[in-house]
Structure 1
Amino acid sequence: MAAQLILPGGASRNVAVFLSEAAPGYTGGERLSDLLNASGPQFIPALDAETNVMTFVHCENLALARVDAEHEPNIIDQFTIPTEHEVEVTMVDGQKLRGLITYVLPDAHSRLTDYLNNAPAFFPVLEGERVALVNKRHVAYVETLRR
């Protein structure tokens, strides 16, 4: 699957990431978010699209990764109305991205701050036709935007 990996400072690489055809916990294949948020290996193999060289990416050092939205479906129960926030995320290095954060949490803990504090290491931000998987370790702050 094609992905854009972005480092702190903005340097990026287009790569092909190798995912499993099955994923635990839901129907369908493994997603990049599954791989990035896994408690297992810290390095993931990726084939550099420009040089055709195999690269081993240290996940913790990625600022974010972008993929087409079709490869990161938002797995939310169809009978539950999700909470949505249009946000601007500012990274520690000054990079900014705008998009939509969507989640489902119990009413008593459904604030954006609850989600951000409990979200996995890489949380999704929908940017139109793409999804940015943002590494919380590289986020300076998240601002809500008016809708």
Structure 2
Amino acid sequence: MNDQKITKNRRSVSFTLADGSNVEGYVFLSLYEACHEGPQRVGDLLNNVETFVPVDTSSGMLHLNIGNIIAAYTPLSEEKSDLMTLGAKHKVQITTSLGSVIDGEIFVNLPHERNRVSDYLNQGERFFRIFLAEKIVYIGSGYIVTVRD
């Protein structure tokens, strides 16, 4: 059966979970993504229809329930594409249900009359992409208490 493995990219991710715990490990990403050109990204994986995501940790394979992920941090250098930074840039401060505050930037690439932070947040995504200095963080929409812009 090992000769039938599908080749995947591994990406380092640090997760913050709803119970306040942290999990560090690697997720497996497809070499191609149906929604855009190039390989699958962590954001694609989290916004997919799947309920669980396998994470290769130092203590073995762990399957995380995506519905309990507050935030997923991954290196900016590995995740970013030029298309992610199209549109109007907004500095935001997000407070999560754990009380943590995340300061970063979002890029809103919507029609001009719908180019506000609130328009970005109301798109219906499970996870929103926030740019930090060295990382991209995907924040679970259900765990966002407030967003200040």
Do the aligned residues in 2 keep the contact of 1:68 with 1:130 (CA within 8 Å)?
Answer: yes
- In 1, the alpha carbon distance for the partners of 2:94 and 2:112 equals 24
- In 2, the alpha carbon distance for the partners of 1:129 and 1:118 equals 26
- In 1, the alpha carbon distance for the partners of 2:76 and 2:62 equals 24
Matches within 5 A, 1:1-147: 1-39=11-49, 41-48=50-57, 50-51=58-59, 53-74=60-81, 76=83, 82-144=87-149
Q: Give, as a single letter, the amino acid of the residue that structure 1 aligns with 2:70.
A: A
Do the aligned residues in 2 keep the contact of 1:83 with 1:104 (CA within 8 Å)?
Answer: yes
Q: Which TM-score applies when normalising by structure 2?
A: 0.86
- In 1, the alpha carbon distance for the partners of 2:79 and 2:26 equals 15
SS in 2 for 1:128: coil
- In 1, the alpha carbon distance for the partners of 2:124 and 2:101 equals 19
Count of residue correspondences = 139
Percent of aligned positions that are identical: 25
Q: Which TM-score applies when normalising by structure 1?
A: 0.87
Q: Give, as a single letter, the amino acid of the residue that structure 2 aligns with 1:113.
A: S
Cα–Cα, structure 1 residues 54 and 77, in superposed 2: closer, same or farther, change >3 Å?
A: closer
5+ residue gaps, structure 2, are: 1-10
Which digits, 9 at most, give the CA deviation of each residue in 1:67-97, with x for residues without a partner? 001232245289xx51111111000120111
Cα–Cα, structure 1 residues 130 and 74, in superposed 2: closer, same or farther, change >3 Å?
A: same
Which digits, 9 at most, give the CA deviation of each residue in 1:100-130, with x for residues without a partner? 0112110111111011011511111001110
> Hey, which of these two has a bigger chunk of strand by percent?
2
Indicate the RMSD between aligned Cα atoms, in angstroms.
1.7
Cα–Cα, structure 1 residues 31 and 42, in superposed 2: closer, same or farther, change >3 Å?
A: same
Q: CA deviation at 1:18?
A: 0.8
